[in-house]
Amino acid sequence: MNEFLNVDAELEQTEMVGGILRALPEHELSMGWRVGLDQKLSVLENPVSALPDIEPSHHWRAQLDQKLAVLENPLSALPDVEPSQDWRAQLNEKLVAVDKPKSVFARLLKGLPEESPNLVWRSKLNEQIRTTSKPRRVFSLWRPALTAGLAGALIVAVTVQMRSTPVAPVAQNEANVVDWMVQTHEQTVAYSELGLNQPTEQTGVTVIEEPADLSVWGI
């Protein structure tokens, strides 16, 4: 019975210790540690990959390039053959011979007398160029002048138009005209009722005279 009690006590202690350990904070693993681990795992997986790269020498690369060039163009592998002195001398002779026609014909043609134009020709040319250049110069002055003139005329036209068409006064003048026409009509009706042909002061009707200047009414 005591033994069981002891066991229970030990278990309790163990659980307490486990609880304490679980309560400890976790340690974050560094990236370096993880990389090192991955490398070691890859080496275990493929041990050959861990061997270092061996760079080929420049000489080896040059030989390879030469062999590839030969495969591509076999004639390039042939050694250069230096031309002999005789061969070079013959070539020079031939080059001189080839160039000879040019020198001969150039000499012949350049030996021909120069055809110089006379002063009359030159003065005619001067005159023609002078006349050729004049219209262009006149046009160059005339065009901006024309543009400015047209623009000025347009501005004047717009200004006159705006002044000659007042909006509000027209409505007022139209009202005056209508009033005058109504009054004239009423007078005419009144005269006809009174048997009169002309409005007189005797009728006691106020005569509205048509103004001499209709512009007062905007007409």
Q: How far is the CB of 99 from another protein (least distance, A)?
A: 10
Considering the complex, state which of residue 51 and residue 98 has its C-beta at the smaller distance from another protein.
Answer: 98
Considering the complex, state which of residue 83 and residue 135 has its C-beta at the smaller distance from another protein.
Answer: 135
Considering the complex, state which of residue 31 and residue 119 has its C-beta at the smaller distance from another protein.
Answer: 119
Residue 183: how many other CB atoms lie within 10 Å:
14
Task: Tell me the torsion sign for CA atoms 196, 198, 200, 205.
Answer: positive
User: Rounded to whole angstroms, how far apart are CA atoms 162 and 43?
Assistant: 97
Query: What one-character DSSP code corresponds to residue 196?
Result: -
Interface residues with another protein (CB under 8 A) are 97, 100-117, 119, 121-122, 124-126, 128-130, 132-133
What SS3 state is found at 200? coil
- Please report the beta strands in the chain, taking only residues with DSSP state E, as ranges in sequence order: none
The full DSSP string for 46-93 is -GGGGSPP-PPPHHHHHHHHHHHHHHH-GGGGSPP-PPPHHHHHHHHH
Q: How far is the CB of 135 from another protein (least distance, A)?
A: 11
Q: How far is the CB of 123 from another protein (least distance, A)?
A: 9
Q: How far is the CB of 113 from another protein (least distance, A)?
A: 7
Considering the complex, state which of residue 89 and residue 157 has its C-beta at the smaller distance from another protein.
Answer: 89
Considering the complex, state which of residue 67 and residue 122 has its C-beta at the smaller distance from another protein.
Answer: 122
Q: How far is the CB of 86 from another protein (least distance, A)?
A: 20
Whether 43 and 50 have beta carbons less than 8 Å apart is answered as yes
